[in-house]
């Protein structure tokens, strides 16, 4: 079963959107297998966004993501990496369609509420930056 790493960014936490964001993935049938608040350090943020190092918005991005707690999550399900990104909507809020999380709730691009891993490699690397295996739960197949 595929796993992905998602996190509600500081703007989503401060706006009280965790519940509604979590619901979108539960409604789709995905399983939340880990979740916790994290106040990211600069080092953890730079590791998380390593692929963006050197881009003009990198410093702003690190400063935004460390500006308050994030809600880090691991989700499980078939094709969850790709489908989670469909549910999130496009990174640029002007391109995010209604019905997606960003299309419905976000108005300014860096403050786009949620991050989602974009490949199996990123999912594994990002997950390991926040969680260890012991923190992930298994769902019963009989309930
Ligand atoms: P995220 O999915 O977390 O991955 C990288 C983030 O960089 C992205 O969401 C945006 O929040 C941010 N980002 C991308 N492009 C820009 C930009 N042009 N200016 C500021 N932030 C950006």
| pLDDT recorded at residue 143 | 64
**Active-site annotation holds for 48:** no
Burial class (CB in 10 A: 0-12, 13-18, 19+), 23: exposed
37 phi and psi angles, rounded to 5 deg: -80, 140
Q: pLDDT-derived band of residue 141, with 50, 70 and 90 as boundaries?
A: confident
Nearest CA to ligand 1 atom 2: 115
ipTM value, please give it.
Answer: 0.88
Is any atom of ligand 1 closer than 6 Å to the C-beta of 91? yes
Q: What is the pLDDT of residues 24-72, one digit of tens each?
A: 999 999 999 999 999 999 999 999 999 999 999 999 999 999 999 999 9
Helix axes 18-28, 80-88, angle to 10 degrees: 130
Look up the pTM and report it. Answer: 0.94
30 contacts 105 by C-beta, under 8 angstroms: no
Q: What is the pLDDT of residues 128-138, one digit of tens each?
A: 999 999 999 99
Give the residue from 116, 128, 122, 131 showing the smallest Cα distance to 50.
122
Identify any residues that bridge with 8 across adjacent strands, giving them in sequence order. 71, 114
CATH classification for the domain delimited by 3-132, as one of 3.40.47.10, 3.30.70.141, 3.40.605.10, 3.40.50.970: 3.30.70.141
Nearest CA to ligand 1 atom 19: 57
Is any atom of ligand 1 closer than 6 Å to the C-beta of 129? no
CA pair distance 132, 113, nearest whole angstrom: 24
4 contacts 74 by C-beta, under 8 angstroms: yes
């Amino acid at each position: 079963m595929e796993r992905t790493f998602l996190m509600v960014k500081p703007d989503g936490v401060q706006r009280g959107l965790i519940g509604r964001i979590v619901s979108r993935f539960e409604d789709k049938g995905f399983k939340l297998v880990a979740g916790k608040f994290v106040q990211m350090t600069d080092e953890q943020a730079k590791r998380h966004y390593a692929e963006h190092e050197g881009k003009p918005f990198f410093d702003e991005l690190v400063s935004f993501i460390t500006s308050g707690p994030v809600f880090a999550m691991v989700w499980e399900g078939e094709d969850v990496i790709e489908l989670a990104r469909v549910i999130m909507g496009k990174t640029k809020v002007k391109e995010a369609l209604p019905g997606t999380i960003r299309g419905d709730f976000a108005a300014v691009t860096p403050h786009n509420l949620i991050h989602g891993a974009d490949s199996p490699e990123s999912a594994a690397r990002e997950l390991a930056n926040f969680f260890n295996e012991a923190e992930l739960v298994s769902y019963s197949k009989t309930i």
